[in-house]
Structure 1
């Protein structure tokens, strides 16, 4: 997946705001890519372009072999539903549905029979360590547990791209590291790209690649993570 000269601007003239200033980026499969930088630097705008939620003002985004900047509305919606999973800071679980029912929602939208969808979702909950809480309502789960349900929901339809926007921001440090560990363990696959936006340097050691942003541009990209994490020269 690649971005070429991607710019995003809002407004015109003196009121113009440049959110992205011409970004070039390759996003590899089989890696956990961390997109980092201060608030307002363009991280969320960038992943919104990658995920087809925003159209760039200029430039092109090629995702999973498709040029999203040339893709029409309904076709793009269908493409997102089939190929992209989302995890956000807020869990966005439906309060009247159990964990397993929440996790199977993407499959139901895709037309799966309910029984088959529940079985598939239950397997994902098992993978994220919530097999015993499948019938619990969101109000009966901790924040970390709710985020695990959200991860299961994002992965249940086996997307080729997983986009996570500050998935640990609402969690304490230990729960945040647990969630990042699960994303690394369960989500990273040879044929899947995983992008995580974060400003929390405490979870940098989970990334294979760190893309640093400021003022709508990429400053540098760090690679070379080892099993022990990032060495001193890599920070």
Structure 2
């Protein structure tokens, strides 16, 4: 399905998430109203415990909202049962986490092709597709390297390739630069911009790293389970958004 100019990639209306019951009930999110467009890299920022990870978990269909409407990629998650939601995630959503979660016994290409294997692709075709994407992120010479032979930044590139290998329309990243030094972190964010930001795709990145704020098209600031501010950034504020990709860098 092709996104229209007016369709929001993510639309949240009155979203509340509570944990516990009775006296132990805690509201992690309170009455979130938010629309995010296609074709942008959105940064979700705020102090620890403010609800960022809970919010993206609801957007990605990993958690159900207690109340409110959650529409993602033109579909209502409220109306999806468990099995349909699992299939929706597998078909449409890619994940990049702070921990790379690479399998140590698999090469870079084999790690990157795992989502395709799960979807039933032939191994040779899946590895070939993963190799193309790894080459695009500057790891064409490291296809047969194992995770312990790669730097942290290179491992994160493999994780990005794995997240994108099945052409997801929503990419969700939870602290993707937290374990990296400043240079590697900026390289990774630049790669996410270059490879993942497309007209029919949405990208949401949770981060505490203010050093990468300039990569965002839109910054959503949260506090105490609420959205406090949404800032649309001017293009001139985004520095190095299209970096030179170097296989030996990061």
- Shorter-chain TM-score range: over 0.9
Measure, in 1, the Cα distance between the counterparts of 2:60 and 2:194.
22
- The answer for the alignment partner of 1:130 in structure 2 is 139
Measure, in 2, the Cα distance between the counterparts of 1:90 and 1:8.
25
Measure, in 2, the Cα distance between the counterparts of 1:224 and 1:73.
37
- The answer for the alignment partner of 2:28 in structure 1 is 19
Per-residue CA deviation, residues 109-130 of structure 1 (Å, 9 max, x unaligned), is 1111111111110011011111
- The answer for the alignment partner of 1:114 in structure 2 is 123
Measure, in 2, the Cα distance between the counterparts of 1:144 and 1:32.
20
Measure, in 2, the Cα distance between the counterparts of 1:12 and 1:187.
40
Measure, in 1, the Cα distance between the counterparts of 2:21 and 2:86.
28
Measure, in 1, the Cα distance between the counterparts of 2:72 and 2:237.
31
Measure, in 1, the Cα distance between the counterparts of 2:24 and 2:82.
28
Structure 1 residue 227: Cα displacement: 3.1
TM-score by length of 1: 0.96
- The answer for the alignment partner of 2:104 in structure 1 is 95
Per-residue CA deviation, residues 82-137 of structure 1 (Å, 9 max, x unaligned), is 00000000000000000000000011111111111111100110111111001000
Q: Does 1:52 align with 2:61?
A: yes
Q: Does 1:217 align with 2:242?
A: no
Q: Is the 8 A contact 2:216 2:233 kept in 1?
A: no
Q: Is the 8 A contact 2:19 2:28 kept in 1?
A: yes
**Local SS of the residue matching 2:173:** strand
Q: Does 1:163 align with 2:172?
A: yes
Measure, in 2, the Cα distance between the counterparts of 1:132 and 1:227.
34
Structure 1 residue 229: Cα displacement: 2.9
Q: Is the 8 A contact 2:219 2:233 kept in 1?
A: no
Q: Does 1:194 align with 2:203?
A: yes
Q: Is the 8 A contact 1:99 1:136 kept in 2?
A: yes
- The answer for the alignment partner of 1:203 in structure 2 is 212
Unaligned runs of 5+ in 2: 1-9, 240-250
How many equivalent residue pairs? 230
Measure, in 2, the Cα distance between the counterparts of 1:163 and 1:4.
20
- The answer for the alignment partner of 1:233 in structure 2 is none
Measure, in 2, the Cα distance between the counterparts of 1:223 and 1:83.
25
